[in-house]
A and B are shown apart, each in its own frame.
Chain A
Amino acid sequence: MIRQIIHKELLENLLSFRFILSLVLIILLFAVSGFVFVSKYKQQSRDYWEKTNENAEELSRQTRQLYRIAFYKQSIWREPKLLALCTEGFEKSLPNCFTFNIFDSDLPKVKGQGNFTLSNFSSIDWVFIVSVILSFLALVFTYDSISGEKEAGTMRQMLANTIPRHQVLVGKYIGVVLTIGIPLFIGLLVSLIIVVASNVAVINALDWSKILIIVLISFLYLSIFILMGMFVSSRTAYPANSMVMLLLVWVVLVILIPSFGRIISEVSGEAPNPAELERRLAEIRTDVWSNSERYGERAGNWAPNVNHPMNNPPARARLWNASANAQNKAREDYHNKMMAQALVGRNLTCYSPTVIYQRASETIASTGINHIVSLQSQIKEYQAELREYIRGEDAKDPLSLHLIFPETNSVSAWRTISHNPVDFANVPKFQERDLALGQSLKLAVWDIGLLALFNLAFFAGAFVSFLRYDVR
């Protein structure tokens, strides 16, 4: 019996005017998203490789003397991600350049990101199309699924037969899922075909599995709106009323709440202030230098000749390292504060499924803020690795004092780090890694659970309301 209902629903929807309109709109949008992504990705990859090669070249020039590697400020650029096709995560206005040497790292910078006088627009990626347009269509297809049939009088006839109500409900649900699934599926295919055919990148197995998960999350998300539509439809007597309710709820959930995050971020807690960071850094420097004796006798003194009695190299090294570490800590705190400020806005708006959906798919695709977080931790690991490498190479040089600290003058004049050349092939180089599927799934599991919970809640609501629905 349920198959007949699905069949009927599907046919009815497929032949409707709204289906043709949505099919055209969705396929068009997905095609545009494919083309936009390809052109953007090409450009970004070109820039990325140019900048990365520049950095590697510069690094290879430093191998003439080991200590130069330690002081060379590398710039690592954020690698463009293939999965930005699914969700771009506002990466265009997030920091994209990370500069550091083995001693300290600067705050991530936003460089060369185009026109700041243009209004901040959402890129047309899958998540945008699904979260705004398709969720809207889900409501357009369900607002009259119960109340409309009641108005038309067909509900009475249907229930006059031996069909139990839950079968009707499930049948209708599956019917709408299939109806929405058709444009979504064709759209995804079109978009993927454009990307694959343009040959910009190879989609590997990991990417495929992540794409699959994002599609599944999209389904979970759309299912919420379908169930919500059926729920409201079975709570109201007229389809016009259910439309009104649903539209207003949609506006609040999909448009108002997600953008409300910024205001929440701004009013909740203190905003990190760049001037304050500068003051803090200056304080640290003053503190370290005015108490230089803390790090050993004559730590504050310096003469070019290492054997000069004024010098005390180990104390000097301790002083500089203490200063660098404290400043790094201050910068890191500041950066964490900025990140936390943005995340507060997001977390406090996650009673909207749209926010959860965006967050979950960004986590799986590791784009957006997650990308920055993982990139930063990888850079930190790399910093430590490079430091270890320099320590190891330095240990082989009997002429060196084996003191690694961030003062160029002393290190070069006193030879506290080896001045011998090294082989560039052995120098560790930075390579960004994608998170493994398990790791990103682990991060997203809460969000997926929340989406499932929303589904359950609305399904239960729709079920109970429909069981008690007055079909007269």
Chain B
Amino acid sequence: MIWKIAKKEFLLNLMTFKFATGTILCMILIAIFVPILAKAYQERLNNCSENVAYNQSELRKVVVYKNITPTIYRRPSVLAIFSEGLAKQLGDSAAIKYDKVPEISGSTANHYLSIFSVFDVSLIFKIVISILALLLAYDTISGERERGTLRLIFSGTAARYQVLLGKLLAGLLVLVVDVTIAFILGLVILLCLPMVDLTASDLIDIGLMFLASLVFIATMYNLGLLFSCLARRSAVSLVLGLFVWIIFAVVIPNGSVYLATLIRPIEPEDKVNDQITALEREIGTEFVRELERSGRSFMSGRDDRSDASGGGFGNGYVRSGTEAMIHNELLQYSIRVPIQIRYANKYSEIRNNYLRGLFEQTWLADNLSRISPISLYENIMSALAGTDVAGFRQFIEAVKPYRNDIIEYMRSRTDNFSKTIFFTPCTEEEIQTRPKGDTAAPLELSDLPRFTYEADIIGILRRIAPDFAFLILGNILFFAVAFAAFVGYDVR
């Protein structure tokens, strides 16, 4: 019986004007936007590979150890086409320096572009297809009552739960067709474009996105069904549905962010910077203390030096100098660098405290927005695409141990920063013999630790699990209430 009702409804829906227009619009939008989004992705990718290539070439020019200051770039994710998340708002690079721990930061791209809001494929789903789901659902019950066909159905042997389940099934089938066509079309276009290279894990993520879209669309359909069961006239159920939709789509996502900034304000960044500046001043006194403790002293005498540029990453280095100069510089570095490394960790602690405030605020905003299925869906999509805050944090967290490896490497190669090669290729023996203008050979850095970063799939799954659960819960809840309302529905 359920199947029969579902089949009838399915066929009826397939031939409706709303289904046709909605589907065609979706196809057109995807066919237009996916190639353009892919083009934007390609530009980001080119930018990233340019930066990486620059890094590599600079690394080959490094002459002294202090100049090993590469920048690690996060490869832009193809899936940002599907869900952009914070990809354009957060910085995607981390500079490795011994005197600074990299932290998550805002993007340095053109600020003026922030007058536009986010645009990606999931926008089409969360706006167009969700409206379509509401439009399909709003008159399933109240519309049939108005036309009088509901009476006819109940004069047969069909039970109420069968009718409702049949209608749910039919609606879902129709929407599955839509979502599937949209995904397949998007995927085919992506696969046809030469600049996009989808890996197996990307495909798995897209599969999960597909699943999430289905669950999300089912939630919206159930919501429409609920209003259809609550109202007696289809016009009322439509108006109710649209109002709730605009609250879910526009008011809650914006309002939750604003509420979060009210409930949990963050401390001003100036304060953090002041704290760090105060700490920076301590380095001088710390240096004097350490110098006394070591019992060494600066050498007096002429401290002529000649510096050379082009020692890697835009830094210069000491080309040659008098004995006193080399001695003093070495003394400076060997005492100052360990202090700077220690202080870098202190700055990082202060910065992290500040960042923790930001994350708590974001966390609150995310949780507040979870009332809206549209926000839940957005969370899932951006987590899968790796463009949410957690994705960026994970990347930065992976860079931190790498920075320690680099420092360890520098330390082991320069005997705890006390070899001249840390800042000059000119050894103490060479001072007299080294001519002034010659170039130095770059360092042999083939055993420099390499940075590898893999997005943590388990972590992502763990992050999206609650949102998925909420969406499913929403489905069950909306359907249960719709069912309760429908059991008592007056079909006259």
Binding site for B on A (CB under 8 A): 17-18, 21-22, 25, 29, 32, 36, 39, 89-90, 93-95, 110, 112, 114-124, 132-133, 136, 140, 144, 238-241, 243-245, 247-248, 251-252, 255-256, 258-267, 271-272, 274, 338-339, 341-342, 345-346, 368-369, 372
User: Could you tell me if A94 and B112 are in contact, using CB atoms closer than 8 angstroms?
Assistant: yes
The 6 A-B residue pairs with the shortest CB-CB distance, nearest first, are: A342-B112, A262-B116, A116-B106, A93-B114, A244-B18, A121-B257
Question: Chain B residues with Cβ under 8 A from A112's Cβ?
Answer: 268-270
Give the complex CA separation of A167 and B85 in angstroms: 50
The answer to whether the Cβ of B128 comes within 8 Å of any Cβ in the partner chain is yes
> Is B338 part of the contact surface with A, judged by Cβ < 8 Å?
no
Q: Complex: how many Å from CA A252 to CA B106?
A: 30
Complex Cα spacing A263 to B128, Å:
19
Binding site for A on B (CB under 8 A): 17-18, 21-22, 25, 29, 33, 36-37, 39-40, 43, 47, 85-86, 88-90, 104-119, 123-124, 127-128, 131, 135, 139, 235-236, 238-240, 242-243, 246-247, 250-251, 253-255, 257-258, 260-262, 266, 268-270, 358-359, 361-362, 365, 389
Which of A116, A247, A248, A256 is the one whose CB lies under 8 Å from B105? A116
Write the nearest CB–CB distance from A237 to chain B, whole angstroms. 10
Residues on A with C-beta less than 8 A from B114 are 90, 93-94, 120
Distance, CA A247 to CA B239, complexed state (A): 12
Query: Smallest Cβ distance from A343 to chain B, in angstroms?
Result: 8
Answer whether A274 and B362 are a contact pair too, CB < 8 Å, given A140-B242, A256-B123, A262-B119: no
Q: Are A342 and B110 in contact, with the CB atoms below 8 A?
A: yes
Are A267 and B258 in contact, with the CB atoms below 8 A? Answer: no
Are A118 and B112 in contact (CB-based, < 8 A)? no
CA distance A152 to B41 in the complex (A): 52
Instruction: Note all chain A residues with C-beta closer than 8 A to B365.
Output: 118-119
A264 vs B33: C-alpha distance when bound (angstroms): 10
Task: Please tell me if the beta carbons of A244 and B22 are within 8 angstroms of each other in the complex.
Answer: yes
User: B43 contacts A267, CB within 8 Å?
Assistant: yes
With a cutoff of 8 Å between Cβ atoms, the chain B residues found around residue A259 in the complex are 116-119, 123
Main SS class of interface, B: helix
A116 touches B123 (CB 8 A): no
Can you offer 9 A-B residue contacts whose CB atoms are under 8 A? Answer: A21-B239, A22-B243, A118-B261, A121-B258, A132-B250, A247-B131, A263-B40, A267-B40, A369-B112
Within the complex, the shortest CB–CB distance from A365 to chain B, in Å, comes to 14
For B266, the chain A residues whose CB sits under 8 A away are 114-115
**Contact: B25 with A258, CB < 8 Å?**
no
Q: Output the least CB separation between A311 and chain B (Å).
A: 24
Contact residue among B21, B89, B257, B269 (Cβ-Cβ distance under 8 Å from A248): B21
B362 near A369 with CB under 8 A, answer no
Tell whether, in the assembled complex, residue A116 and residue B236 are in contact, meaning their CB atoms are under 8 Å apart.
Answer: no
Decide yes or no: A266 and B123 within 8 Å by CB, A240-B139, A258-B117 being known contacts. Answer: no
Given pairs A258-B116, A260-B119, A263-B36, 5 additional interface contacts (CB within 8 A): A94-B114, A118-B358, A248-B25, A342-B113, A369-B115
Whether A338 pairs with B110 at a CB distance below 8 angstroms is: yes
Tell me how far the C-beta of A269 lies from the nearest C-beta in chain B, rounded to whole angstroms: 11
A90-B117 Cα distance, complex, nearest whole Å? 10
Quote the shortest CB–CB distance from B273 to chain A (angstroms).
10
Whether B110 pairs with A251 at a CB distance below 8 angstroms is no
CB neighbours of B89 from chain A (8 A)? 116-117, 119-120
CB distance from A70 to the nearest CB of B (A): 27
Residue of B25, B110, B123, B135 with highest tally of chain A CB at under 10 A: B110
Chain A residue numbers with a CB within 8 Å of B119 are: 256, 259-260, 262-263
Q: Is A119 in contact with B39, judged by CB distance below 8 angstroms?
A: no
Residues on A with beta carbons closer than 8 Å to the beta carbon of B22:
244, 248
A255 touches B127 (CB 8 A): yes
| Nearest-neighbor residue (CB-CB) of B254 within chain A | A121
Q: Tell me the bound Cα distance from A245 to B261 in angstroms.
A: 38
Task: Write the nearest CB–CB distance from B24 to chain A, whole angstroms.
Answer: 9
| Residues of B contacting A339 in the complex (Cβ-Cβ under 8 angstroms) | 112
**Chain A residues near B261 (CB-CB < 8 A):** 114-115, 118
**Contact in complex: A243, B127 (CB < 8 Å):** no
Contacts of A271 in B (CB 8 A): 43, 47, 109-110
How far, in Å, is A18 (CB) from chain B's closest CB? 5
